[in-house]
Chains A and B, each alone.
Chain A
């Protein structure tokens, strides 16, 4: 089947989509957007997190057909050309990126948190990121990155 959707502000079309295919597969394999990572395909790791109509979701759990006519924003869509979004920049500056596999999902989840809660408490950050696994950093630097992004007014 064919799926039409808006991705990062651009009208896109994916062809020959299998009816049981996930939005994640469409983004990565058909639309050439490898930012969202595929790790578990069962909603456990959060590395595929994208905005669907402004709501963060696991792209691996959205059927491609459910994205028809909807708006998707991926980690690629957060940066403004070469200029990283403050959340992305803060992850780099705080050393919250090691292998980087979890980073796109965490950045989207953190971006959403800061848009809703510009100055989150530690527990709020932990709760907001509870659906994102990182095997490398131990999470402390990730917490630092989110706090740094908050001081830079990332949510504003």
Chain B
């Protein structure tokens, strides 16, 4: 095995092009577990922590470009207000020690159906920037997750950043686990309101082979809100609307029975999470609208 420490992104991409078998390592919170338990013996480790650019974030025209290697703790501290949904998800990851090392890039690289950032990336309409010596390309979060622990990366590509809109309206993330900290999600749910497009983004985690959008629920709710003119004059949501939204989210799942929960539980829990997060987000939206008026 070799340990490669590129100092710059072009250098890292050159290595990856030449040696597609080299495994990138950022925070190491997934990779090291596999190495410690001998589940993986890659030909080389490609350490990304020496590449300054991956650990930076910037904004342009209302979009935040979050470097793939920014640890969760910094994302929470520095971008908590601008990326509220992602910060909420980041706060539920592991423990302080894990959040000090773990990154969104690593969560995407691992592409576990249970990864906490995925429902938020889907609900907010994030785009994943990946690069290789052939150039860089943008992949919509929607097209990124291909299967259990499989993503759209080519063998010579690295994830460089995630682009997300600077939040203009409430976002929510909610996760079911067996205790308050240090748990992988039994199921999770991300919600984002997009008043400028009159759309709602909603996505599930840990309840299908990949994280995925809840499209039928999104369409239903977006339609209800637009038809009733609620974006402009946000009245309380009818209970029946919240319920139907929850039902549609549950219908869009494909959960399995496993040690952490049964399929039926996951489906039910997601309908509850969907209803609750919608209620919270909408209350916040109404409060925000009133205070602006």
- Minimum Cβ distance to chain A for residue B105 (Å): 15
- A65 and chain B: residue at smallest CB distance: B3
- A56 and chain B: residue at smallest CB distance: B97
- B27 and chain A: residue at smallest CB distance: A61
Closest 7 CB pairs of A and B: A131-B95, A130-B181, A65-B3, A19-B3, A41-B36, A19-B1, A61-B32
In residues 13-50 of chain A, which contact B (Cβ within 8 Å)? 18-20, 22, 41-44, 46, 49
- With A20-B35, A66-B49, A109-B97 known to touch, is A61 a contact of B29 (CB < 8 Å)? yes
Beta-carbon contact of A128 and B94 below 8 Å: no
User: Is residue B47 within 8 Å, beta carbon to beta carbon, of the partner chain?
Assistant: yes
Beta-carbon contact of A58 and B36 below 8 Å: no
Beta-carbon contact of A131 and B94 below 8 Å: yes
User: Is residue B168 within 8 Å, beta carbon to beta carbon, of the partner chain?
Assistant: no
CA distance A52 to B148 in the complex (A): 33
Beta-carbon contact of A42 and B36 below 8 Å: yes
A66 touches which of B28, B97, B181 (Cβ 8 Å)? B28
User: Is residue B182 within 8 Å, beta carbon to beta carbon, of the partner chain?
Assistant: yes
Beta-carbon contact of B37 and A43 below 8 Å: no
Residues of A within 8 A of B101 (CB): 57-58, 61-62
In residues 109-155 of chain A, which contact B (Cβ within 8 Å)? 109, 112, 127-128, 130-132
Other A-B pairs beyond A61-B98, A130-B95, 18, CB < 8 Å: A41-B37, A43-B29, A43-B94, A56-B100, A57-B100, A58-B101, A60-B32, A62-B28, A62-B101, A63-B45, A66-B25, A66-B28, A66-B47, A109-B96, A127-B181, A131-B94, A131-B181, A131-B182
Chain B contact residues, majority secondary structure: mixed
Residues of A within 8 A of B31 (CB): 63
In residues 165-201 of chain B, which contact A (Cβ within 8 Å)? 180-182
In residues 19-36 of chain B, which contact A (Cβ within 8 Å)? 25, 27-29, 31-33, 35-36
Residues of B within 8 A of A61 (CB): 27-29, 32-33, 98, 101
User: Is residue B2 within 8 Å, beta carbon to beta carbon, of the partner chain?
Assistant: yes
User: Is residue B41 within 8 Å, beta carbon to beta carbon, of the partner chain?
Assistant: yes
CA distance A109 to B182 in the complex (A): 15
A20 touches which of B45, B73, B98 (Cβ 8 Å)? B45
CA distance A42 to B28 in the complex (A): 10
CA distance A65 to B35 in the complex (A): 14
Beta-carbon contact of A130 and B180 below 8 Å: yes
A56 touches which of B45, B47, B96 (Cβ 8 Å)? B96
Residues of B within 8 A of A20 (CB): 1, 35, 41, 45
Residues of A within 8 A of B243 (CB): none
User: Is residue B5 within 8 Å, beta carbon to beta carbon, of the partner chain?
Assistant: yes
Residues of A within 8 A of B182 (CB): 44, 130-131
CA distance A132 to B28 in the complex (A): 18
- Minimum Cβ distance to chain A for residue B159 (Å): 18
Beta-carbon contact of B98 and A43 below 8 Å: yes
In residues 83-129 of chain A, which contact B (Cβ within 8 Å)? 109, 112, 127-128
Residues of A within 8 A of B181 (CB): 127, 130-131
CA distance A111 to B257 in the complex (A): 41
In residues 45-102 of chain B, which contact A (Cβ within 8 Å)? 45, 47, 49, 73, 94-98, 100-101
Residues of B within 8 A of A66 (CB): 25, 28, 47, 49
